[in-house]
Structure 1
C-alpha cells in the first residue's frame, strides 16, 4: 500500500498539505481541501523518495458534497502501481491505512472498524486515531484487500475515535472515468524476456543499486556478477537512469552492450560516438590519440557483457587501456561492468588476465528469496482483481529457484489462466 501512496505539498515540496494515492496510470486521488493552494503554487507529489510535479485535473468546489480532487503527473513516462477500488463495504469490516501525518514524513499506519454510513453518505469508522495530514489516505478493506474509500476528516485528532471517509461509490459518481481506468487490460507480469528499462519497474534490487553508488562515490569501480537472466542489464539501466541524482561528482554516463561490439575498432568507435568525439568517416583514435581525447572527459562507463571481451577481436592493449583509464584518483573512467562469472574466472579459458580484477569491486546479483518473490507477486496483483493462492506462490518459488525472469514467466502464465 505504501508504494502506491504519495505525500502532497506545494512551493517546491516545502509545505505538507496531505496525502494521496495512485488510482490509475498517472492519476492521484485526494481530498479537495488538500489542494486549496495548488491553484496558486506549484504542486508536488513525493513518491519513492523523489518529488514529481502534479497538476489539478478536477477538483470539487462543493466540499460538503464532494471533498474530492484528481491530480495528474506532468511526466507521463513515470511507471508506478496503483490501488484497486471496490464499492462493497460492510459494517464491521476492518480497515487499514497508510498516510503522511504532518510530523511524520516517513509515513504512518492506522487501523479502524467500519460503523456504517452517516446522513451525508460518508463512510464512518471507529477505533483509531486520524491525524492531521492523513486526509486523502486510502482506506484498505482487509476483507476484500481493496480500497473502499479515502479519509477526509478526523472525529478528534487527539483521541482514537476514528473519522469519516468518502466511499468508492461516491468517488465513481464524481469521477466516472475511473471505473474504466481501474480495469487492467494487460497482464501485469511483463516484460517476459526484455530487460527492465525504467527504474520504477525494477524490483528487489534497491540494495545492490545503493551498493553500486556507495562504491562509485568512494572512488571505486564495480563488477556486477550474476548468472544469465538474473537482471544485470536491468540493473545497469537503473544505474544509468539514477546516476544524475546519485553520483556525488558529475560524470557523463555511457552504456555499451558488448554483444553488439565485435573488435577493438568497434569499441573505440562506439565509445567515441557516445561521448561525442567526432569520428565520422575516419578511423577512431586508439592508443595515445584516444587517451589524449578521452582524458578531457569524466565518464561513468557501463559495460554490459564483458565476457565478450574474451573474443578473438578484442586485444590485450584495449583491455589494458580500459584498466589504465579507470585506475587513478580522478580517472577519465569509473566503471560498472556486468559479467556472468567472477572476475578470477572470467578470462581463465583464454589464458588472459582479467583487466578488471583489482580495479572493480565485485557485487553479486543473487536469486530472489521467497520474501522478495512474494512481495513482487503481491505488488503486481495489487493492480488487478486476481489473486494467487499460497500453494500457487510456493510452486512458483520452488520451480523458479529465484530466477527473476522465470518468476515473471511462471506468473504470466498463471495470471493468463485465471483472467
Structure 2
C-alpha cells in the first residue's frame, strides 16, 4: 500500500536541499519541528568544521541554517539545523516502528536530479554498525545527495529513519538509514511533534484509519468529523461526465488538479461508473500507483499480477487472453523524469496504441502532462505530451458545493452549520476546506462550556 497522493506531496514539501558553498557539497534535510531540520552529519561536515552556516534552498530563496547538534560519522551520522528565517513550513510526522518487508518511500536532491527525485525501498532488517544499528534497505537506488532524506514507512504513514548511504549508487541494490532512536534527545521532539501536529492537521489528515491508530498520543481527529476520507464524491459531476465522454469516444484522459483537489476519490468514483456505464469487469480495469513503481520491469510485473500471471514476459499472451480496457495511472508525477521514467511512459503509450489491445489511459497528475516531463527527450515531445490535449482540470469547489460538503460532515455533530458559514462563502479545494473546518471545530469544542 502506498501513501495517499496528498501524503506523498506533503513529504516532498517537508524536504529541503542543503548546500555547503565552501566545498560545493549538497544533500537533503527535512523539517521535524518549527525551525528545526534533520540531516546526516556528513552532508554538513565542512560547514561544521569551519563554523559556517549551511545554505537551505527553498522555492522562495536561500536561507542560512545553523548547526545545533552534530553527531559525526560513521555512527550515528546525524545533524540538527536551526533556521528561524523560514515560517509556516510543514513538518514530517515521526514514528519509529518498522518491520521486515515494509515498503518505504523517500525524496531528496540527488546528483543526477538536484531539483528532487523519488526513491522506494523495502526494509531488509538491521545492520550492526558496531556502535549501534542501522536500517538495511533493498530494492531501490540511493544516489549521492539522497543522504539526509526522510524515510517514510508506507504501512504506518510516519517517517521512521534518515537515509545515510548507498549499497551501490548505480543499481537498485539499496542503501542504509539511521533509525529515529539516534536523534538527540535534548530537544524533547515527542512534545514538539505532538504540539505541531495537533495544531496543524495536514499530515494526520492524509493518514487512513489504520495508520491513524499508530499515532501514540491522543489527537483531535478522534472526535472531529472533518478528518478522514469523504464517503461520497461531491461537486465533480461535470468533470466525471467529461471523462466518461472522452472514454466513450475512444480517447485517453488526463486529470489535472492540485494536491487536495479530490483526485483519488474521483478515480474511485470513475472506476465505479465505467463498470456501470460500459459493462466493464474489475479484471478489465487496472490501477497503477507510480509512487511504488521505479522501473519498466516493475511496471510490467504490476500489470501481469493484475492479470493473474507470474512473469513480465507473459504480458503479451496474457493481454490477448484477458484484455485490459482501462488503466488508471495515479500520481503520474511520481514517475522518474529521466531515462527509466521515459522508458515506462514510452512503453505505456505504445501499449495503448497497439491495435490488438483496446486500452485507454486515464492519467492523474498535479501538472499538465506536456509540462510535467519536458526533459524526456530534448528533440521531441514526451510520449504523454499529446495524450489528452484538453485535460479535465479540477477547479476549487463552488460555495454551494462547499456548503454541501460541510453539511455532510456535520450530520449528527454537536455544532450547527451556521458556525462554519464564513469558511464556505468562497470557492475552495476540498482538502483546504476540510482542514479549515477541522480547526474551527476544535476551537468550538474547546470553548464549549
Task: Give the TM-score normalised by the residue count of structure 1.
Answer: 0.47
Name the structure where helix makes up a greater proportion of residues.
Answer: 2
Q: Which has the larger radius of gyration?
A: 1
Give me the TM-score of the superposition, normalised by structure 2. 0.44
